[in-house]
């Protein structure tokens, strides 16, 4: 489904894009095989493509010395709609088809990636937004064990309906009762037994199935998923025990709230956007002084600032911090590295005004000495190294380029080793002088320890990329999403 709400593309989408810096010959040594990055595109599990230019894998593969694999997978109702009250071994009618596509692709990678120069035992899964939700689900599935060696979760937590279902998975039975029945009835396939419903749905065109009502969250189907991600190692659920890198962009919700940018009525944001994104009405929080806007802004800016902050905390920040905190505290995985981007570069086709540094006569491409909103997806041109490929000029006298190189090198280091601190010998051998300088200036990215006052989070900006404490803790507590939410 595209941004206009109409279905596009095809159902026959089970393809992989592969970039590799190395094709081994028949006599090549297995020691020369490269680590693999397995990319899952975003789009809320209802839209997007592995062909998106912002996530082209060429630069990451070449500069990072890794094999880059990007997956197409089934989306929306085709990928996630469960209509069967009973889990069956075949999975028919049980939903989670998109998740099954990903695991099938990971199994293919395990069996075949060596032919493309990749090491089947070093596969890091990575996703942003909807793709990050998918990475979290893969980590919660026992069927992923042995297929994954690391995970990167970018802007993935989502406190949205139903019942935070993107991260705290509801049962197949409940989803059938609350969502699937309505969708199947709209499609003219209601009041039939399960086999007849399946047959009825299979007769429909792909475009007919793409209703405005859709499924876009994993289900506890007792087949691929037996529960949500176990962040404490206790109770139901599971976590594949691999190193994890996760974090947010500071104002993640900015592009979504920007559609109302300019209104002075803060309630408009919650009335028009809230029902689409939030699982409860949180408009009362706008009256809480802990969400107050800077005193220097006008009424329109204040309305945007407060609503964006509340929705960002609700949908992204709070539960990201809670996840990383508990994983680290209980040592559920070998290591957790956390970040918050405070520098972004919005994609050319999605670049709302408040998400860009203000333009001045002296700095027409943006004045980075002034504050601006750091918005969802704005880290992608940096972590993928695709500024040049996208035709995005350096706005900051070389600052954007240095930051992009540095970020790609940190991410690629994590793919190669499970640690985002690059090996100096690797950087020197390849002449990555800018990154060498930044690593020396900014120091080590330390793994999280899971203490409430710990400096567990790396602030991602060109200067002063310090380790810092968790942001917005008081605000998260006001929402009932405190740091110890999963404890």
Residue 287 and residue 63: Cα distance in Å, rounded? 48
The total domain count for the chain is: 1
DSSP assignment of 284-331 equals GGGGSGGGPPPTTS-HHHHHHHHHHHHHHIIIIIHHHHHHHHHHHHTT
Two structure tokens written together for 231: 């962040």
pLDDT of residue 442: 97
Which position has the token pair 């029945």? 181
Asked if the structure places residue 277 within a domain, the reply is: no
* Straight-line distance from the first to the last Cα atom of the chain, in angstroms, rounded to the nearest whole number: 37
> Which burial class, exposed, middle or buried, applies to 9 when counting CB atoms under 10 A from its CB (0-12, 13-18, 19+)?
middle
pLDDT of residue 5: 45
Asked if the structure places residue 28 within a domain, the reply is: yes
- Clarify whether 61 is annotated catalytic: no
Give the Å distances, CA to CA, from 203 to 47, 73, 91, 181, 200. 23, 21, 19, 18, 5
Q: Strand, helix or coil at 61?
A: helix
User: Cis link prior to 289 (omega < 30° from 0)?
Assistant: no
- Adjacency order of strands within the sheet including 244-249: 16-19, 67-71, 34-40, 118-128, 150-154, 244-249, 336-341, 457-460, 467-468
pLDDT of residue 161: 63
pLDDT of residue 1: 42
Indicate which residue of 8, 27, 61, 129 is catalytic.
129
CA neighbours closer than 13 Å in the CB half-sphere of residue 217: 26
Two structure tokens written together for 13: 């989408």
pLDDT of residue 9: 61
CATH of the domain at 160: 3.40.50.1820
DSSP assignment of 111-167 equals HHGGGGTEEEEEEEEEEETHHHHHHHHHHT-GGGTTT-SEEEEES-----TTTTTTT
CA gyration radius, the chain? 22
Asked if the structure places residue 431 within a domain, the reply is: yes
pLDDT of residue 14: 85
Give the Å distances, CA to CA, from 334 to 35, 79, 337, 421. 18, 31, 10, 16
Residues 6+ apart with CB under 8 A from 70: 16, 17, 18, 39, 41, 50, 55, 57
Nearest to 38 by CA among 75, 15, 68: 68
Per-residue pLDDT reduced to its tens digit, 241-275: 999 999 999 999 999 999 999 999 999 999 999 88
Regions of the chain with pLDDT less than 50: 1-5
Asked if the structure places residue 483 within a domain, the reply is: no
Q: Are 133 and 40 in contact (CB under 8 A)?
A: no
Asked if the structure places residue 388 within a domain, the reply is: yes
Asked if the structure places residue 306 within a domain, the reply is: no
Long-range contacts of 439-443 (CB under 8 A, 24+ apart): 439/406, 442/466
Two structure tokens written together for 320: 């990201």
Asked if the structure places residue 257 within a domain, the reply is: no
Nearest to 40 by CA among 19, 68, 6, 2: 68
Asked if the structure places residue 281 within a domain, the reply is: no
Domain containing 125: what range?
16-252+315-352+365-478
Pairing of strands 457-460, 467-468: antiparallel
């Amino acid at each position: 489904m595209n941004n206009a709400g109409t279905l596009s593309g095809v159902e026959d989408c089970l393809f992989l894009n592969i970039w590799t810096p190395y094709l081994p010959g028949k006599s090549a040594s297995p020691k020369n095989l490269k680590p693999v990055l397995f990319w899952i595109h975003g789009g809320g599990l209802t839209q997007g493509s592995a062909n998106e230019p912002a996530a082209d894998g060429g630069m990451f593969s070449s500069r990072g010395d890794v094999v880059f694999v990007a997956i197409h997978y089934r989306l929306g109702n085709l990928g996630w709609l469960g209509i069967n009250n009973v889990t069956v071994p075949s999975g028919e009618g049980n939903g989670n088809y998109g998740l099954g596509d990903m695991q099938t692709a990971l199994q293919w990678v395990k069996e075949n990636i060596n032919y493309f120069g990749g090491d089947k035992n070093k596969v890091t899964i990575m996703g942003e937004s909807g793709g990050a939700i998918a990475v979290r689900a893969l980590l919660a599935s026992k069927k992923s064990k042995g297929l994954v060696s690391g995970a990167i979760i970018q802007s993935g937590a989502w406190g949205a309906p139903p019942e935070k279902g993107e991260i705290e998975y509801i049962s197949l039975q409940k989803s059938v009762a609350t969502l699937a029945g309505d969708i199947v009835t709209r499609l003219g396939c209601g009041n039939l037994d399960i086999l007849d419903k399946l047959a009825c749905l299979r007769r429909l065109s792909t475009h007919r199935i793409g209703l405005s009502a859709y499924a876009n969250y994993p289900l506890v189907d007792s087949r691929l998923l037996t529960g949500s991600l176990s962040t404490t190692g206790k109770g139901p659920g599971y976590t594949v025990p691999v190193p994890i890198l996760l974090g947010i962009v500071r104002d993640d919700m900015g592009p979504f709230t920007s559609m109302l940018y300019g209104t002075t009525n803060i309630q408009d944001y919650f009335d028009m956007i809230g029902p689409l994104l939030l699982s409860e009405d949180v408009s009362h929080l706008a009256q809480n002084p802990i969400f107050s806007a800077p005193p220097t802004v006008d009424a329109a800016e204040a309305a945007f600032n407060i609503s964006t902050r509340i929705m960002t905390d609700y949908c992204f920040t709070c539960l990201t911090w809670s996840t990383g905190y508990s994983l680290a505290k209980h040592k559920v995985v070998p290591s957790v590295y956390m970040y918050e981007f405070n520098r972004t570069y919005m994609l050319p086709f999605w670049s709302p005004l408040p998400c860009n540094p203000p333009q001045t006569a002296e700095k027409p491409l943006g004045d980075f000495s002034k504050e601006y909103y750091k918005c969802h997806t704005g880290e992608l041109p940096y972590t993928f190294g695709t500024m040049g490929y996208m035709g995005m000029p350096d706005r900051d006298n070389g600052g954007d380029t240095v930051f992009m190189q540095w970020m790609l090198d940190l991410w690629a280091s994590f793919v190669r080793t499970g640690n985002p601190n690059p090996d100096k010998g690797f950087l020197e051998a390849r002449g990555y002088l800018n990154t060498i300088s930044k690593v020396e200036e900014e120091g080590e990215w330390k793994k999280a320890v899971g203490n409430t006052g710990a400096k567990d989070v790396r602030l991602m900006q060109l200067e002063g990329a310090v380790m810092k404490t968790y942001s917005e803790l008081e605000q998260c507590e006001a929402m009932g999403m405190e740091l110890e939410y999963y404890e």
